[in-house]
Amino acid sequence: MRLIHTSDWHLGRRLKGVDRTPEIAFALNELLKQAKSLEVDAVLVAGDIFDVPSPTAEAEKVAYDFFCGLGDAKIPAVVIAGNHDSALRIDGVSLLLSHVGVKALGRPKNMDKGGLIELDTKSGKLCVAAVPFASERRLLKAEDLWEKDDLQQRQHYKQAVAHLFQSLTRGFQDNSVNVVMAHLTIDGAKRAYSEVDYYTKDTYSLSGQTLPSEAQYIALGHIHKPQQVPNAAPTYYCGSLIQVDFGEAGEEKGFNLVTLEPGRPALTEFISIPCQKPLKVVNCDWNNLDETLEENREHSGFLKFVIELNESQKFGLADKVRKVCTQALIIEPRYPKAPLEPNIEVGEFNQFDMVVEFQRYWSQQLGKTLEPSVLQAFKELYQELNDAPN
């Protein structure tokens, strides 16, 4: 049996005001072509189909066009919601999606409620223990919030997720291919840092021991870097479908092709999909800026410039860059750090001096000595604010 494991499409994503949906549509079209040419038995989508809970009509159209394309090719799919998706929205369209062979699950469910999804594929039976993103608040009862401290609440959440996996894998069968699909963070996974910070740390960071060893393959979504996670069962993040943010610049994007047969561990191959608009981070300094701009004039994707400056200010820097490289989305100047002036000392907290701190900020952040006229104006403004009635 051959499966495609994909995740983290983030349809509707905007980067500095630029809608990335056309790029994602291009990647999904390539993914559909691969699904047909590789004659896969099913497609697993491990969450974050959309970038926001209420996506645009265009973002929804791209997703549903892809699923209809799979339906036309008689390729079934299993889809779960991620932390960016609306679980209610995914559950709401699940009946419609079922008519094109897509089994969609928005909220976590036990086996007897539909959490274990069974498919009859052309190569045999497939069982998918599907675990959409599980919000901490959805797994905690009201009394837990009142009676348990933060640590106890975190432990309860992790135990609830582990119990859910145990419940689902009890339905695995000897004569079927048995896989787990989940949208979550495993301790030690290498992040791209384009993921939402809150949902990748603390409570939401789970031990690999939480994952069931009975699975032949564990398809994970949420972390954008493709990677294998050390675990008893073959466990993989396939990564995001495009370079979502500049933390992923230069990375290959694609999907996992998973080959399985009942009772044996999976064989996994990462297959790349070309990025229509690749992201690139360009590092340079003021002296070689003109040369660097010319080198990147024809870059087909989007650029982030990090420019080391030898002075505290360069007026018109962004205009200078974008005049040559119109595809530059971020221009980040790096100023030299000036040493602290000898006469500025760190005071005790209870002796905080606003004027001294302003001098320190000016020196550290702007890299130059504060002019007496500016300092005097600040002192007068600060005194005026202190003397103002409450």
88 and 235 part of one domain: yes
Convert 165-181 to b/e letters by CB count within 10 Å (16 or more is b).
bebbbebbeeebbbbbb
Indicate whether 273 pLDDT > 70. yes
51 in a structural domain: yes
Domain count within the chain: 3
89 and 222 part of one domain: yes
- Report the chain's mean pLDDT, rounded to a whole number: 88
Closest by CA position to 181, among listed 76, 272, 105, 271: 105
Q: What is the pLDDT of residue 144?
A: 60
375 and 233 part of one domain: no
241 and 174 part of one domain: yes
Q: What is the pLDDT of residue 346?
A: 45
Across 200-209, 293-302, 351-360, least confident range: 351-360
Q: Which domain holds residue 60?
A: 2-272
205 in a structural domain: yes
Q: Is 215 helix (H, G, I), strand (E, B) or coil?
A: coil
Q: What is the pLDDT of residue 179?
A: 97
Residue at token pair 């599980």: 134
259 in a structural domain: yes
302 and 242 part of one domain: no
145 in a structural domain: yes
The domain that holds 245 is classified in CATH as: 3.60.21.10
238 and 372 part of one domain: no
262 and 289 part of one domain: no
343 in a structural domain: no
Could you tell me which residue, 207 or 154, shows the higher pLDDT?
A: 207
Q: Which two tokens stand for residue 141?
A: 């009862």
Could you tell me which residue, 65 or 383, shows the higher pLDDT?
A: 65
340 in a structural domain: no
Reported confidence tier of residue 209, pLDDT bands at 50, 70, 90 = confident
326 and 364 part of one domain: no
325 and 308 part of one domain: yes
What's the full length of the chain, in residues?
390
Query: Which residue, 223, 250, 272, sits at the end of a domain?
Result: 272
Do 39 and 46 contact (CB within 8 A), yes or no? no
49 in a structural domain: yes
What pTM was estimated for this model as a whole? 0.82
Q: What is the pLDDT of residue 350?
A: 47
Residues paired with residue 181 on neighbouring β-strands, in sequence order: 130, 219
339 in a structural domain: no
317 and 196 part of one domain: no
72 and 190 part of one domain: yes
307 and 363 part of one domain: no
Q: What is the pLDDT of residue 192?
A: 85
Query: Which residue, 252, 272, 292, sits at the end of a domain?
Result: 272
